[in-house]
Structure 1
Amino acid sequence: MLLCPLCAAPHPLHYHRDSRRDYYQCATCELVFVPPSQRLGPDQEKSVYDQHQNSPDDPGYRAFLGRLFEPLNKRLAPGARGLDFGSGPGPTLSVMFEEAGHPMAIYDPFYAPDSTVLEQHYDFVTATEVAEHLFEPGRELERLIDLLPAGGWLGVMTKRVQGREAFSRWHYILDPTHVCFFSEATFRWVGDCWGLEVEFPAADVVLLRRRERLRK
C-alpha cells in the first residue's frame, strides 16, 4: 500500500504523470511525492549532487541563500547556535551565519556524514533546498524539530506547489533527485502537527518556530 511519506496517510491520489515518473498527492497533508519505486538509488543521487558547484565565494549563491538567511538572522539572539542540515558539497549558509556571530555545525549524508551532530541541541536549524530531496520527510522533520528547544527556529527553503496546472509545467520536477513537493498548506499542516508557528517571509522560504508552550 502506498503511504504518504510525510504523514503516513494511505491512499494518496494520483496527481500528475510525465515521461519519467508519477506524482501522488496526500489528501491529509497535501504533500505531492514520487513513489519509492521511481526514486534514484544512492549512487545515482550522489552523481547528480556532485555536479553542483556551490561555494561561499560565489556572491550569486550568497544572494540566493540570503532569502532565508536575512529573515532568520533577524529573529535570532546574539550567539545563537545553529545546524545546517543538508549542507551539500560547498557549505555556504553555515559560513554566512558564522560571519554573523552564530556558531554552526553542518550535516550532510553524503558530504558531511558525522551523525553525532544530530545528537546535540541547537537554537536554530536550517535546511535549504533539502526538503524536496527527502525520502522520509516526516521522520526527518521530526528529528530536526526534536533538536530545538521551545522558541527555537527551523528555517526551510524549497519551492512550493502552486496547483496542478502549474505543476505540470514546473521545471522543479525535472530534477530526478526532487521527490517531495510541499505547498503552503503542507507547511501549515506541519505546524499544526508539531506545534510550530509558521511564517512565510520570502519566496520559497518558511520559518517554523517551536512554541514556547507546547500543546498537550
Structure 2
Amino acid sequence: MAALARALQPGLPAELQIERAVAWLAGHDGWLLVLDNVEDPGHIRPLLDRLPGDRVLVTTRRATGLHDATAIRLDVFNPGEALDLCTRILTHHSPRTTDGADTVCAELGHLALAVKQAAAYCAETGTNPHDYLDMLTQWPATMFATSATSTDPKRTIARIWRLTLNHLTDTPLAGSLLRILAWYAPDNIPRDLLYTSPNHPSSPPRPADSPPTA
C-alpha cells in the first residue's frame, strides 16, 4: 500500500502513505488488490471495510473468518497440471531432460509450491529429476528447506510447515494429531484412529453424528 502511494505521489511523507493509498482506492474503480497469505482475517478487516468497491483477492490457509467473501478452495494439482508446471520451469531457459519429473511430482504429492520449489532448484543447479528424487529420499528435511537463489527462501515447504506447527504450540493435542495423520494417505482416514479410551484425559469428545472417515 505504501509503495502504491509513493508511485501516486513521490515524496509523500511515510506516515501519510498508507492513508493516501487507501483514499485513492476508495475513490477509483477498475482495480484488483491482492492480499497474500493472510494469517488473521482481523488484520485486514479495517482495510476491507474502507474499500467496498471493485475486487480484493485474499489468499490464506485459514478455512474460516471471511464470512462475507466468496471462498474458492484450492486443492493440489492433478498429475498433469503438476507435470506441466515442473516441465515449464525446468525448460524455461534452455532445453533439458525432464525424464523422471512425473515421479518427483508424485513424490511431492502434486503440491504446487513443492513442485515449483523442486523444479526451480533443478533448473538453477542443473540437477536432473532422478538425482533430485535421490536427494529427496536421502535428505528430505534439507531438500524441503532448499530453494533456488532466485526465489523467496520464506516460501519453502519446510518453512511453511514449520509455521503451521508453531501455530499449534498452544494446543499440543492438535499438533500430535497432525503428526500422526501425516503418516497416512489424505483420504478415508477412519475417525476411530483419533480416539483412545473414553476415560483417557487426552481423548477428544466423539461427536454423536460424526461421519466414519476424515
Give the TM-score range, shorter chain: under 0.3
Max radius of gyration: which structure?
2
**Bigger fraction of residues in helix:** 2
> Higher relative CO (CA 8 A, sep ≥ 6), structure 1 or 2?
1
For normalisation by structure 2, the TM-score amounts to 0.20
